[in-house]
Amino acid sequence: MFILRFVVAPIIAILGAIFVGLIIMGIDRILAARMQSRVGPPLRQPFWDVKKLMIKENIIPENAISWLFNAAPVICLAVVSTILLYLPLAGFSPILAAHGDLIVVVYLLILPALAKVIGGFASGSPFASVGAQREMVMMMSYEFPLAIIAVSVAWLLSKVHPSLDAFSLQAIATHPVWGLVKGPLGIVGLILLLVSLLVVTPGELSVIPFDLPDAPTEIVGGVLAEYSGRNYALFYLASAVKLVVLPSLLIAIFFPYGISGLFNVGAAAAGVIDVVFFLVKLFVILFFSVTCVHVLAARLKIDQLVNTYFMAMTAVSLVGLVLIVLDAAI
Amino acid sequence: MPSEKAIKMNRIIKAIWVFNWFNSCGFTELIPVVGSRWDMERFGMIITPTPRHADVLFIAGYQTWKSLERAKRVYEQMAEPRVVLGLGACTMSGGMYWDSYNTVKRLSDYLPVTMYIPGCPPRPEAVFEACVKIFQHVKELK
Amino acid sequence: MIGSLLSNAGVWMPLAWLFVLVVTWAIVYYIRSRGEARYHKDTEQVRPFLAGHPETSKAAMHVRASNEYWGFMEALKGYYHPLIKGHTGNLNDYICWFICILAIVLVLVISVGV
Protein backbone atom coordinates (compact mmCIF):
# COMPACT_ATOMS: atom_id res chain seq x y z
CA MET A 1 0.00 0.00 0.00
CA PHE A 2 2.83 2.37 0.89
CA ILE A 3 4.65 1.57 -2.35
CA LEU A 4 1.45 1.98 -4.32
CA ARG A 5 0.67 5.36 -2.80
CA PHE A 6 4.13 6.93 -2.69
CA VAL A 7 5.96 5.36 -5.63
CA VAL A 8 3.56 4.03 -8.24
CA ALA A 9 1.03 6.86 -7.94
CA PRO A 10 3.56 9.68 -8.51
CA ILE A 11 5.00 7.84 -11.51
CA ILE A 12 1.55 7.40 -13.05
CA ALA A 13 0.63 10.99 -12.17
CA ILE A 14 3.67 12.57 -13.79
CA LEU A 15 3.64 10.44 -16.93
CA GLY A 16 -0.13 10.69 -17.32
CA ALA A 17 -0.12 14.43 -16.77
CA ILE A 18 2.66 14.92 -19.30
CA PHE A 19 0.76 12.85 -21.87
CA VAL A 20 -2.61 14.54 -21.28
CA GLY A 21 -1.00 17.97 -21.02
CA LEU A 22 0.86 17.63 -24.32
CA ILE A 23 -2.30 16.43 -26.08
CA ILE A 24 -4.27 19.37 -24.65
CA MET A 25 -1.47 21.65 -25.81
CA GLY A 26 -1.80 20.19 -29.30
CA ILE A 27 -5.57 20.69 -29.31
CA ASP A 28 -5.09 24.23 -28.05
CA ARG A 29 -2.66 25.01 -30.84
CA ILE A 30 -4.99 23.54 -33.48
CA LEU A 31 -8.02 25.45 -32.17
CA ALA A 32 -6.06 28.70 -31.90
CA ALA A 33 -4.94 28.19 -35.51
CA ARG A 34 -8.48 27.50 -36.70
CA MET A 35 -9.69 30.70 -35.02
CA GLN A 36 -7.06 32.60 -37.01
CA SER A 37 -8.23 30.72 -40.15
CA ARG A 38 -5.07 28.67 -40.29
CA VAL A 39 -4.77 24.90 -40.52
CA GLY A 40 -2.62 24.49 -37.45
CA PRO A 41 -0.05 21.86 -36.51
CA PRO A 42 -0.83 18.16 -36.17
CA LEU A 43 -2.09 16.94 -32.80
CA ARG A 44 1.25 15.26 -32.07
CA GLN A 45 3.26 18.42 -32.65
CA PRO A 46 4.06 19.09 -28.93
CA PHE A 47 5.45 15.53 -28.64
CA TRP A 48 7.64 16.15 -31.68
CA ASP A 49 8.75 19.48 -30.21
CA VAL A 50 9.89 17.79 -27.00
CA LYS A 51 11.58 14.96 -28.89
CA LYS A 52 13.44 17.50 -30.95
CA LEU A 53 14.50 19.55 -27.95
CA MET A 54 16.00 16.43 -26.40
CA ILE A 55 18.57 16.12 -29.18
CA LYS A 56 19.57 19.77 -29.19
CA GLU A 57 22.65 20.95 -27.36
CA ASN A 58 22.14 22.02 -23.76
CA ILE A 59 23.97 25.34 -23.57
CA ILE A 60 24.95 26.69 -20.17
CA PRO A 61 25.90 30.35 -20.60
CA GLU A 62 29.13 31.57 -19.07
CA ASN A 63 27.33 34.16 -16.91
CA ALA A 64 24.96 31.57 -15.48
CA ILE A 65 25.21 29.96 -12.08
CA SER A 66 25.28 26.52 -13.61
CA TRP A 67 23.86 24.34 -10.83
CA LEU A 68 20.91 26.67 -10.22
CA PHE A 69 20.44 27.10 -13.96
CA ASN A 70 20.20 23.32 -14.38
CA ALA A 71 18.18 22.70 -11.23
CA ALA A 72 15.39 25.20 -11.98
CA PRO A 73 13.66 23.22 -14.77
CA VAL A 74 13.94 19.98 -12.80
CA ILE A 75 12.36 21.60 -9.72
CA CYS A 76 9.66 23.15 -11.88
CA LEU A 77 8.52 19.87 -13.45
CA ALA A 78 8.99 17.74 -10.31
CA VAL A 79 7.03 20.09 -8.06
CA VAL A 80 4.22 20.79 -10.47
CA SER A 81 3.53 17.07 -10.83
CA THR A 82 3.39 16.53 -7.04
CA ILE A 83 0.47 18.99 -6.88
CA LEU A 84 -1.61 16.51 -8.86
CA LEU A 85 -1.45 14.02 -6.00
CA TYR A 86 -3.28 16.44 -3.70
CA LEU A 87 -6.14 17.05 -6.16
CA PRO A 88 -9.25 14.92 -6.53
CA LEU A 89 -9.07 13.80 -10.15
CA ALA A 90 -12.14 12.45 -11.95
CA GLY A 91 -14.12 11.87 -8.78
CA PHE A 92 -11.43 9.72 -7.13
CA SER A 93 -10.21 10.89 -3.76
CA PRO A 94 -6.74 12.49 -3.79
CA ILE A 95 -3.88 10.02 -3.42
CA LEU A 96 -2.37 12.08 -0.59
CA ALA A 97 -5.74 13.17 0.83
CA ALA A 98 -4.59 12.38 4.36
CA HIS A 99 -1.38 14.40 3.97
CA GLY A 100 -2.38 17.75 2.53
CA ASP A 101 -5.27 20.08 1.81
CA LEU A 102 -6.28 23.11 -0.23
CA ILE A 103 -3.82 25.41 1.56
CA VAL A 104 -0.95 23.11 0.61
CA VAL A 105 -2.07 23.19 -3.02
CA VAL A 106 -2.23 27.00 -3.00
CA TYR A 107 1.28 27.14 -1.58
CA LEU A 108 2.68 24.49 -3.91
CA LEU A 109 1.32 26.46 -6.87
CA ILE A 110 3.88 29.16 -6.02
CA LEU A 111 6.81 26.79 -6.44
CA PRO A 112 6.80 26.30 -10.23
CA ALA A 113 6.71 30.07 -10.69
CA LEU A 114 9.49 30.39 -8.13
CA ALA A 115 11.55 27.82 -10.04
CA LYS A 116 11.17 29.94 -13.15
CA VAL A 117 12.28 33.00 -11.17
CA ILE A 118 15.36 31.12 -9.94
CA GLY A 119 16.13 29.94 -13.45
CA GLY A 120 15.74 33.43 -14.84
CA PHE A 121 18.00 35.08 -12.30
CA ALA A 122 20.54 32.28 -12.61
CA SER A 123 20.76 32.74 -16.41
CA GLY A 124 22.83 35.88 -16.07
CA SER A 125 21.12 37.52 -19.03
CA PRO A 126 19.38 40.90 -18.76
CA PHE A 127 16.38 39.58 -20.69
CA ALA A 128 16.00 36.66 -18.30
CA SER A 129 16.39 38.93 -15.27
CA VAL A 130 13.59 41.18 -16.48
CA GLY A 131 11.45 38.10 -17.13
CA ALA A 132 12.15 36.75 -13.66
CA GLN A 133 11.24 40.07 -12.06
CA ARG A 134 7.97 40.13 -13.97
CA GLU A 135 7.24 36.55 -12.96
CA MET A 136 7.76 37.51 -9.33
CA VAL A 137 5.47 40.54 -9.50
CA MET A 138 2.86 38.45 -11.29
CA MET A 139 3.11 35.68 -8.71
CA MET A 140 2.54 38.17 -5.88
CA SER A 141 -0.45 39.66 -7.69
CA TYR A 142 -2.43 36.49 -8.37
CA GLU A 143 -1.76 34.88 -5.00
CA PHE A 144 -4.14 37.29 -3.29
CA PRO A 145 -7.34 36.44 -5.22
CA LEU A 146 -6.38 32.74 -5.11
CA ALA A 147 -6.09 32.84 -1.32
CA ILE A 148 -9.44 34.65 -1.00
CA ILE A 149 -11.11 31.98 -3.15
CA ALA A 150 -9.65 29.19 -1.00
CA VAL A 151 -10.74 30.88 2.22
CA SER A 152 -14.27 31.63 0.96
CA VAL A 153 -14.90 28.07 -0.15
CA ALA A 154 -13.56 26.64 3.11
CA TRP A 155 -15.58 29.10 5.18
CA LEU A 156 -18.76 28.17 3.32
CA LEU A 157 -18.13 24.47 3.87
CA SER A 158 -17.31 24.89 7.56
CA LYS A 159 -20.47 26.94 8.03
CA VAL A 160 -22.76 24.31 6.53
CA HIS A 161 -20.93 21.17 7.65
CA PRO A 162 -19.00 22.09 10.82
CA SER A 163 -17.91 18.49 11.41
CA LEU A 164 -15.89 18.25 8.16
CA ASP A 165 -12.31 19.34 7.54
CA ALA A 166 -13.14 22.51 5.67
CA PHE A 167 -9.86 22.79 3.74
CA SER A 168 -9.76 19.14 2.73
CA LEU A 169 -10.16 19.01 -1.05
CA GLN A 170 -11.96 15.70 -0.79
CA ALA A 171 -14.60 17.27 1.44
CA ILE A 172 -14.92 20.23 -0.95
CA ALA A 173 -15.29 17.92 -3.93
CA THR A 174 -17.90 15.66 -2.34
CA HIS A 175 -19.98 18.64 -1.17
CA PRO A 176 -20.29 20.85 -4.28
CA VAL A 177 -20.31 24.52 -3.33
CA TRP A 178 -23.40 25.28 -5.42
CA GLY A 179 -25.48 23.14 -3.06
CA LEU A 180 -24.19 24.86 0.07
CA VAL A 181 -25.51 28.36 -0.58
CA LYS A 182 -29.09 29.26 0.23
CA GLY A 183 -30.23 31.93 -2.18
CA PRO A 184 -29.41 34.01 -5.27
CA LEU A 185 -26.93 36.17 -3.30
CA GLY A 186 -24.73 33.17 -2.63
CA ILE A 187 -24.98 31.99 -6.24
CA VAL A 188 -23.84 35.42 -7.47
CA GLY A 189 -21.00 35.35 -4.93
CA LEU A 190 -19.86 31.93 -6.16
CA ILE A 191 -20.03 33.07 -9.78
CA LEU A 192 -17.78 36.04 -8.90
CA LEU A 193 -15.30 33.64 -7.25
CA LEU A 194 -15.44 31.39 -10.32
CA VAL A 195 -14.76 34.35 -12.61
CA SER A 196 -11.72 35.40 -10.61
CA LEU A 197 -10.35 31.83 -10.59
CA LEU A 198 -10.93 31.67 -14.36
CA VAL A 199 -8.88 34.87 -14.73
CA VAL A 200 -6.14 33.59 -12.43
CA THR A 201 -5.81 30.39 -14.51
CA PRO A 202 -4.20 31.96 -17.62
CA GLY A 203 -1.93 33.96 -15.30
CA GLU A 204 -0.67 30.81 -13.60
CA LEU A 205 -0.15 29.21 -17.01
CA SER A 206 1.50 32.42 -18.26
CA VAL A 207 -0.28 32.58 -21.61
CA ILE A 208 -1.30 35.72 -23.47
CA PRO A 209 -2.52 38.23 -22.18
CA PHE A 210 -0.58 37.34 -19.02
CA ASP A 211 2.59 35.96 -20.64
CA LEU A 212 4.77 38.82 -19.44
CA PRO A 213 7.50 36.64 -17.90
CA ASP A 214 8.27 35.04 -21.27
CA ALA A 215 7.07 37.65 -23.71
CA PRO A 216 8.72 36.48 -26.96
CA THR A 217 8.37 39.66 -28.95
CA GLU A 218 9.44 41.92 -26.15
CA ILE A 219 12.11 40.37 -23.95
CA VAL A 220 13.00 37.43 -26.24
CA GLY A 221 11.48 34.65 -24.18
CA GLY A 222 12.27 36.30 -20.86
CA VAL A 223 12.96 33.62 -18.29
CA LEU A 224 13.53 31.05 -21.05
CA ALA A 225 15.82 33.25 -23.14
CA GLU A 226 19.03 31.37 -22.33
CA TYR A 227 17.54 27.89 -22.02
CA SER A 228 18.04 25.39 -24.79
CA GLY A 229 17.86 21.66 -25.38
CA ARG A 230 16.78 19.40 -22.56
CA ASN A 231 16.47 22.16 -19.95
CA TYR A 232 14.01 23.97 -22.16
CA ALA A 233 12.20 20.68 -22.83
CA LEU A 234 11.62 20.28 -19.09
CA PHE A 235 10.08 23.77 -18.88
CA TYR A 236 7.95 22.87 -21.91
CA LEU A 237 6.75 19.71 -20.14
CA ALA A 238 6.10 21.65 -16.92
CA SER A 239 3.85 24.06 -18.79
CA ALA A 240 2.03 21.04 -20.22
CA VAL A 241 1.52 19.54 -16.74
CA LYS A 242 0.30 22.92 -15.48
CA LEU A 243 -2.41 22.74 -18.15
CA VAL A 244 -3.76 19.74 -16.25
CA VAL A 245 -3.18 21.00 -12.70
CA LEU A 246 -4.91 24.39 -12.79
CA PRO A 247 -8.21 23.29 -14.38
CA SER A 248 -8.23 20.26 -12.05
CA LEU A 249 -8.19 22.62 -9.07
CA LEU A 250 -11.02 24.64 -10.60
CA ILE A 251 -13.00 21.46 -11.29
CA ALA A 252 -12.43 20.19 -7.75
CA ILE A 253 -13.78 23.41 -6.26
CA PHE A 254 -16.57 24.41 -8.63
CA PHE A 255 -17.54 21.48 -10.88
CA PRO A 256 -16.84 18.24 -9.00
CA TYR A 257 -19.80 16.45 -10.60
CA GLY A 258 -19.61 13.07 -12.31
CA ILE A 259 -22.09 11.63 -14.76
CA SER A 260 -21.46 7.94 -14.07
CA GLY A 261 -24.55 7.90 -11.78
CA LEU A 262 -26.74 8.48 -14.82
CA PHE A 263 -25.67 5.21 -16.39
CA ASN A 264 -26.48 1.81 -14.99
CA VAL A 265 -23.02 0.27 -15.36
CA GLY A 266 -20.41 -1.53 -13.25
CA ALA A 267 -17.73 0.16 -11.15
CA ALA A 268 -14.98 -0.14 -13.79
CA ALA A 269 -17.14 1.29 -16.57
CA ALA A 270 -18.32 4.08 -14.25
CA GLY A 271 -14.68 4.96 -13.56
CA VAL A 272 -13.94 5.14 -17.27
CA ILE A 273 -16.99 7.34 -17.87
CA ASP A 274 -15.94 9.66 -15.04
CA VAL A 275 -12.39 9.97 -16.35
CA VAL A 276 -13.63 10.80 -19.85
CA PHE A 277 -16.11 13.33 -18.46
CA PHE A 278 -13.34 14.83 -16.34
CA LEU A 279 -11.13 15.27 -19.41
CA VAL A 280 -14.04 16.89 -21.23
CA LYS A 281 -14.54 19.34 -18.34
CA LEU A 282 -10.80 20.04 -18.28
CA PHE A 283 -10.84 20.75 -21.95
CA VAL A 284 -13.93 22.97 -21.86
CA ILE A 285 -12.44 25.09 -19.06
CA LEU A 286 -9.15 25.47 -20.92
CA PHE A 287 -10.99 26.33 -24.11
CA PHE A 288 -12.81 29.25 -22.51
CA SER A 289 -10.20 30.52 -20.10
CA VAL A 290 -7.04 29.94 -22.17
CA THR A 291 -7.56 29.25 -25.88
CA CYS A 292 -10.25 31.87 -26.55
CA VAL A 293 -8.52 34.45 -24.39
CA HIS A 294 -5.07 34.09 -25.91
CA VAL A 295 -6.42 34.31 -29.45
CA LEU A 296 -8.51 37.38 -28.72
CA ALA A 297 -6.24 39.40 -26.45
CA ALA A 298 -2.93 41.19 -26.68
CA ARG A 299 -0.29 41.24 -23.96
CA LEU A 300 -0.87 43.52 -20.97
CA LYS A 301 1.75 45.82 -19.52
CA ILE A 302 3.12 44.83 -16.14
CA ASP A 303 1.29 47.61 -14.28
CA GLN A 304 -1.95 46.73 -16.06
CA LEU A 305 -1.42 43.14 -14.97
CA VAL A 306 -0.92 44.16 -11.35
CA ASN A 307 -4.07 46.28 -11.61
CA THR A 308 -6.00 43.34 -13.08
CA TYR A 309 -5.02 40.88 -10.38
CA PHE A 310 -4.10 42.88 -7.32
CA MET A 311 -6.92 45.40 -7.63
CA ALA A 312 -9.72 44.15 -9.90
CA MET A 313 -9.65 40.41 -9.24
CA THR A 314 -9.06 40.88 -5.51
CA ALA A 315 -12.06 43.22 -5.42
CA VAL A 316 -14.19 40.75 -7.40
CA SER A 317 -13.31 37.84 -5.15
CA LEU A 318 -13.77 39.93 -1.99
CA VAL A 319 -17.25 40.96 -3.17
CA GLY A 320 -17.91 37.28 -3.81
CA LEU A 321 -16.81 36.45 -0.26
CA VAL A 322 -18.99 39.20 1.23
CA LEU A 323 -22.02 38.04 -0.78
CA ILE A 324 -21.53 34.47 0.43
CA VAL A 325 -21.28 35.62 4.04
CA LEU A 326 -24.42 37.77 3.60
CA ASP A 327 -26.21 34.83 2.04
CA ALA A 328 -25.36 32.63 5.03
CA ALA A 329 -26.33 35.38 7.49
CA ILE A 330 -29.76 36.09 6.05
CA MET B 1 19.27 0.83 -39.67
CA PRO B 2 19.57 4.59 -40.00
CA SER B 3 22.55 6.25 -38.39
CA GLU B 4 22.32 8.23 -35.16
CA LYS B 5 22.65 11.41 -37.11
CA ALA B 6 19.82 10.46 -39.45
CA ILE B 7 17.52 9.81 -36.48
CA LYS B 8 18.39 13.23 -35.08
CA MET B 9 17.69 14.92 -38.37
CA ASN B 10 14.36 13.14 -38.72
CA ARG B 11 13.34 14.53 -35.35
CA ILE B 12 14.25 18.03 -36.38
CA ILE B 13 12.39 17.90 -39.69
CA LYS B 14 9.14 17.48 -37.76
CA ALA B 15 9.67 20.51 -35.53
CA ILE B 16 11.75 23.18 -37.22
CA TRP B 17 12.15 26.24 -35.06
CA VAL B 18 13.27 29.31 -36.91
CA PHE B 19 15.19 32.36 -35.81
CA ASN B 20 14.80 35.26 -38.18
CA TRP B 21 17.70 37.54 -38.97
CA PHE B 22 15.87 39.88 -41.29
CA ASN B 23 17.24 43.31 -41.85
CA SER B 24 15.87 44.24 -45.21
CA CYS B 25 12.86 43.69 -47.46
CA GLY B 26 13.01 39.94 -46.86
CA PHE B 27 11.24 40.54 -43.58
CA THR B 28 8.09 42.02 -45.07
CA GLU B 29 7.99 39.35 -47.74
CA LEU B 30 8.24 36.51 -45.22
CA ILE B 31 5.48 37.69 -42.88
CA PRO B 32 2.76 35.96 -44.97
CA VAL B 33 4.45 32.64 -44.24
CA VAL B 34 3.31 32.91 -40.62
CA GLY B 35 -0.16 34.16 -41.49
CA SER B 36 -3.27 32.32 -42.49
CA ARG B 37 -2.57 31.97 -46.20
CA TRP B 38 0.64 29.93 -45.93
CA ASP B 39 0.67 29.00 -42.23
CA MET B 40 4.08 27.54 -41.48
CA GLU B 41 2.86 26.13 -38.17
CA ARG B 42 1.06 23.28 -39.96
CA PHE B 43 4.51 21.87 -40.73
CA GLY B 44 5.60 22.32 -37.14
CA MET B 45 7.64 25.38 -37.96
CA ILE B 46 7.43 28.19 -35.45
CA ILE B 47 9.42 31.38 -35.02
CA THR B 48 11.46 31.51 -31.85
CA PRO B 49 12.42 34.69 -30.06
CA THR B 50 15.98 33.63 -29.28
CA PRO B 51 18.68 31.72 -31.17
CA ARG B 52 19.08 29.35 -28.20
CA HIS B 53 15.83 27.60 -29.18
CA ALA B 54 16.34 27.74 -32.92
CA ASP B 55 17.36 25.10 -35.46
CA VAL B 56 17.38 27.29 -38.54
CA LEU B 57 18.83 30.74 -38.91
CA PHE B 58 17.01 32.56 -41.68
CA ILE B 59 19.17 35.29 -43.09
CA ALA B 60 17.19 37.47 -45.42
CA GLY B 61 18.43 40.16 -47.70
CA TYR B 62 21.77 41.90 -47.95
CA GLN B 63 24.05 42.10 -44.94
CA THR B 64 26.13 45.14 -44.21
CA TRP B 65 29.50 44.62 -42.57
CA LYS B 66 28.08 45.75 -39.22
CA SER B 67 25.06 43.46 -39.33
CA LEU B 68 27.19 40.57 -40.56
CA GLU B 69 29.25 40.77 -37.38
CA ARG B 70 26.09 40.39 -35.33
CA ALA B 71 24.67 37.65 -37.53
CA LYS B 72 27.84 35.66 -36.99
CA ARG B 73 27.51 36.08 -33.23
CA VAL B 74 23.88 34.96 -33.33
CA TYR B 75 24.85 31.93 -35.38
CA GLU B 76 27.50 30.99 -32.83
CA GLN B 77 24.97 31.20 -30.00
CA MET B 78 22.59 28.67 -31.55
CA ALA B 79 22.53 25.12 -30.24
CA GLU B 80 23.67 22.39 -32.61
CA PRO B 81 22.42 20.91 -34.90
CA ARG B 82 22.05 24.26 -36.60
CA VAL B 83 21.87 25.41 -40.18
CA VAL B 84 21.77 28.70 -42.03
CA LEU B 85 19.37 29.52 -44.84
CA GLY B 86 20.21 32.42 -47.11
CA LEU B 87 17.09 34.08 -48.42
CA GLY B 88 16.84 36.05 -51.63
CA ALA B 89 19.20 37.15 -54.33
CA CYS B 90 21.00 39.62 -52.07
CA THR B 91 22.56 36.90 -49.91
CA MET B 92 23.81 35.10 -53.01
CA SER B 93 25.32 37.91 -54.98
CA GLY B 94 24.58 41.19 -53.32
CA GLY B 95 21.52 41.51 -55.55
CA MET B 96 20.73 45.06 -56.54
CA TYR B 97 23.38 46.26 -54.09
CA TRP B 98 26.14 44.35 -55.86
CA ASP B 99 28.37 47.38 -56.27
CA SER B 100 27.81 48.93 -52.86
CA TYR B 101 30.88 49.46 -50.71
CA ASN B 102 29.37 48.19 -47.48
CA THR B 103 27.34 45.10 -48.34
CA VAL B 104 28.35 41.47 -48.29
CA LYS B 105 28.42 40.03 -51.78
CA ARG B 106 28.36 36.34 -50.96
CA LEU B 107 27.18 35.22 -47.52
CA SER B 108 28.77 31.78 -47.68
CA ASP B 109 32.21 33.41 -47.54
CA TYR B 110 31.46 34.34 -43.93
CA LEU B 111 28.83 31.90 -42.62
CA PRO B 112 28.30 28.19 -43.39
CA VAL B 113 25.18 28.70 -45.49
CA THR B 114 23.67 25.30 -46.23
CA MET B 115 21.17 26.44 -48.79
CA TYR B 116 20.24 29.55 -50.72
CA ILE B 117 16.68 30.32 -51.68
CA PRO B 118 16.84 32.42 -54.83
CA GLY B 119 14.31 35.06 -55.73
CA CYS B 120 13.74 38.71 -55.17
CA PRO B 121 11.98 37.91 -52.92
CA PRO B 122 11.42 34.13 -52.87
CA ARG B 123 7.89 32.71 -52.79
CA PRO B 124 6.68 31.11 -49.53
CA GLU B 125 6.49 27.72 -51.32
CA ALA B 126 10.19 27.97 -51.94
CA VAL B 127 10.83 28.64 -48.26
CA PHE B 128 8.86 25.55 -47.23
CA GLU B 129 10.60 23.44 -49.80
CA ALA B 130 13.95 24.65 -48.54
CA CYS B 131 13.09 23.81 -44.93
CA VAL B 132 12.16 20.25 -45.83
CA LYS B 133 15.15 19.82 -48.09
CA ILE B 134 17.72 21.42 -45.86
CA PHE B 135 17.95 18.63 -43.33
CA GLN B 136 17.81 15.97 -46.04
CA HIS B 137 20.64 17.84 -47.61
CA VAL B 138 22.62 17.86 -44.36
CA LYS B 139 21.94 14.15 -43.92
CA GLU B 140 23.39 13.46 -47.36
CA LEU B 141 26.44 15.58 -46.72
CA LYS B 142 27.92 13.40 -44.00
CA MET C 1 8.62 12.96 16.38
CA ILE C 2 7.73 14.25 12.95
CA GLY C 3 4.06 13.92 12.17
CA SER C 4 1.29 15.67 10.33
CA LEU C 5 0.62 19.32 11.07
CA LEU C 6 -3.00 19.42 12.13
CA SER C 7 -5.27 22.43 12.26
CA ASN C 8 -8.94 22.12 12.99
CA ALA C 9 -9.75 22.32 9.33
CA GLY C 10 -6.89 20.72 7.47
CA VAL C 11 -3.72 18.70 7.48
CA TRP C 12 -0.19 18.96 6.05
CA MET C 13 2.46 16.28 6.19
CA PRO C 14 5.77 17.62 4.83
CA LEU C 15 7.49 14.22 4.84
CA ALA C 16 4.90 12.70 2.52
CA TRP C 17 5.40 15.56 0.10
CA LEU C 18 9.18 15.26 0.26
CA PHE C 19 8.96 11.54 -0.39
CA VAL C 20 6.73 12.04 -3.41
CA LEU C 21 9.02 14.84 -4.60
CA VAL C 22 11.99 12.46 -4.51
CA VAL C 23 10.11 10.03 -6.76
CA THR C 24 9.01 12.69 -9.27
CA TRP C 25 12.51 14.20 -9.12
CA ALA C 26 13.96 10.82 -10.09
CA ILE C 27 11.61 10.54 -13.06
CA VAL C 28 12.34 14.09 -14.19
CA TYR C 29 16.05 13.40 -13.83
CA TYR C 30 15.64 10.28 -15.97
CA ILE C 31 13.84 12.31 -18.65
CA ARG C 32 16.60 14.90 -18.46
CA SER C 33 19.34 12.28 -18.73
CA ARG C 34 17.83 11.08 -22.04
CA GLY C 35 18.61 14.46 -23.56
CA GLU C 36 21.78 15.74 -25.13
CA ALA C 37 24.27 16.98 -22.54
CA ARG C 38 27.04 18.33 -24.73
CA TYR C 39 27.70 21.89 -25.73
CA HIS C 40 30.71 23.89 -26.85
CA LYS C 41 32.38 25.24 -23.75
CA ASP C 42 34.70 28.21 -23.97
CA THR C 43 33.49 29.30 -27.38
CA GLU C 44 31.32 32.12 -28.60
CA GLN C 45 28.33 29.83 -27.93
CA VAL C 46 28.25 30.44 -24.17
CA ARG C 47 28.23 34.24 -24.42
CA PRO C 48 24.92 35.79 -23.35
CA PHE C 49 22.44 36.52 -26.12
CA LEU C 50 22.05 40.29 -26.43
CA ALA C 51 20.39 40.42 -29.85
CA GLY C 52 23.74 39.94 -31.52
CA HIS C 53 25.54 42.71 -29.69
CA PRO C 54 28.81 42.00 -27.91
CA GLU C 55 28.81 42.08 -24.15
CA THR C 56 30.52 45.35 -23.22
CA SER C 57 30.75 45.02 -19.44
CA LYS C 58 29.05 42.77 -16.95
CA ALA C 59 28.05 45.68 -14.73
CA ALA C 60 26.31 47.52 -17.56
CA MET C 61 24.33 44.40 -18.52
CA HIS C 62 23.13 43.78 -14.97
CA VAL C 63 19.50 44.54 -14.16
CA ARG C 64 19.57 45.91 -10.65
CA ALA C 65 17.38 44.59 -7.86
CA SER C 66 15.92 48.04 -7.26
CA ASN C 67 13.91 47.53 -10.46
CA GLU C 68 12.42 44.36 -9.08
CA TYR C 69 9.04 45.67 -8.01
CA TRP C 70 8.73 48.35 -10.68
CA GLY C 71 5.44 46.90 -11.92
CA PHE C 72 4.03 46.94 -8.43
CA MET C 73 5.15 50.49 -7.66
CA GLU C 74 3.84 51.69 -11.02
CA ALA C 75 0.41 50.09 -10.59
CA LEU C 76 -0.03 51.07 -6.95
CA LYS C 77 1.30 54.62 -7.42
CA GLY C 78 -1.74 56.12 -5.71
CA TYR C 79 -0.87 54.16 -2.58
CA TYR C 80 2.91 54.52 -2.54
CA HIS C 81 3.25 58.23 -3.37
CA PRO C 82 1.38 59.55 -0.30
CA LEU C 83 3.31 57.05 1.82
CA ILE C 84 6.65 58.28 0.49
CA LYS C 85 5.54 61.88 1.07
CA GLY C 86 4.72 60.98 4.65
CA HIS C 87 8.31 59.91 5.28
CA THR C 88 9.75 63.36 5.86
CA GLY C 89 12.70 62.28 7.99
CA ASN C 90 11.60 64.65 10.73
CA LEU C 91 11.33 62.84 14.07
CA ASN C 92 8.52 65.14 15.25
CA ASP C 93 6.38 64.03 12.29
CA TYR C 94 6.92 60.35 13.08
CA ILE C 95 5.99 60.85 16.73
CA CYS C 96 2.95 62.82 15.65
CA TRP C 97 1.89 59.89 13.43
CA PHE C 98 2.53 57.49 16.30
CA ILE C 99 0.36 59.46 18.71
CA CYS C 100 -2.45 59.86 16.15
CA ILE C 101 -2.53 56.12 15.40
CA LEU C 102 -2.34 55.33 19.11
CA ALA C 103 -5.32 57.62 19.77
CA ILE C 104 -7.35 55.98 17.00
CA VAL C 105 -6.53 52.49 18.28
CA LEU C 106 -7.42 53.50 21.83
CA VAL C 107 -10.76 54.93 20.68
CA LEU C 108 -11.47 51.71 18.77
CA VAL C 109 -10.49 49.47 21.66
CA ILE C 110 -12.50 51.46 24.20
CA SER C 111 -15.59 51.77 21.98
CA VAL C 112 -15.58 48.04 21.20
CA GLY C 113 -14.87 47.17 24.84
CA VAL C 114 -17.79 49.25 26.08
**pLDDT, greater one: C82 or A2:** C82
Count of residues making up chain C: 114
Domain limits of chain B?
4-141
* CATH fold of B4-141: Rossmann fold (3.40.50)
Q: Are the beta carbons of A167 and A161 closer than 8 angstroms?
A: no
Q: In this complex, which of C24, C67, C68 lies closest to A82 when CB atoms are compared?
A: C24
Average pLDDT over residues A101-107: 86
Task: Quote the mean pLDDT of chain B.
Answer: 81
Give me the number of domains chain A comprises. Answer: 1
* Cα–Cα distance measured from residue A84 to residue A112, given in angstroms and rounded to the nearest whole number: 13
Average pLDDT over residues C16-24: 86
Task: Say yes or no for a CB contact (<8 Å) between C39 and A158.
Answer: no
Quickly list DSSP for B44-106. Answer: T-EE-SSGGG-SEEEEES--BHHHHHHHHHHHHHSPSS-EEEEESHHHHH-GGGTT-TTB-S-
Average pLDDT over residues B82-101: 83
Instruction: Tell me whether the omega of the peptide bond preceding residue B49 falls within 30 degrees of 0, making it cis.
Output: no
Q: Which pLDDT tens digit goes with each residue over A135-192?
A: 888 888 888 898 899 888 888 888 888 777 777 777 787 888 887 777 888 888 889 9
Phi-psi label, residue A38: left if phi above 0, alpha if psi -120 to 50, beta otherwise: beta
Residue of A8, A18, A47, A81 to mutate for C, most C C-beta atoms under 10 A: A81
Task: Say yes or no for a CB contact (<8 Å) between B44 and A56.
Answer: no
Average pLDDT over residues A254-283: 81
Tell me the one-letter amino acid at B49. Answer: P
Buried/exposed B13-48: b ≥16 CB within 10 Å, e otherwise = bbbbbbbbbbbbbbbebbeebbeeebbbbbbbbbbb
- Compare all CA atoms of chain B with the CA of A58 and give the residue at the minimum distance: B79
Residue range of the domain that includes A255: 2-329
Q: Is the pLDDT of residue A256 over 50?
A: yes
ipTM: 0.85
A220 pairs with which residues across the strands?
A: none
How do beta strands B46-47 and B17-22 pair?
parallel
Task: Say yes or no for a CB contact (<8 Å) between C71 and A303.
Answer: yes
Count of residues making up chain A: 330
Q: What angle do CA A223, A204, B41 make, to 5 degrees?
A: 65
The separation between CA A173 and the C-alpha centre of its own chain, rounded to angstroms, equals: 17
Q: At C88, is the secondary structure helix, strand, or coil? A: coil
Residue A183: phi, psi to the nearest 5? -130, -170
Residue C3: band (very low, low, confident or very high) from pLDDT cuts 50, 70, 90: low
Count of residues making up chain B: 142
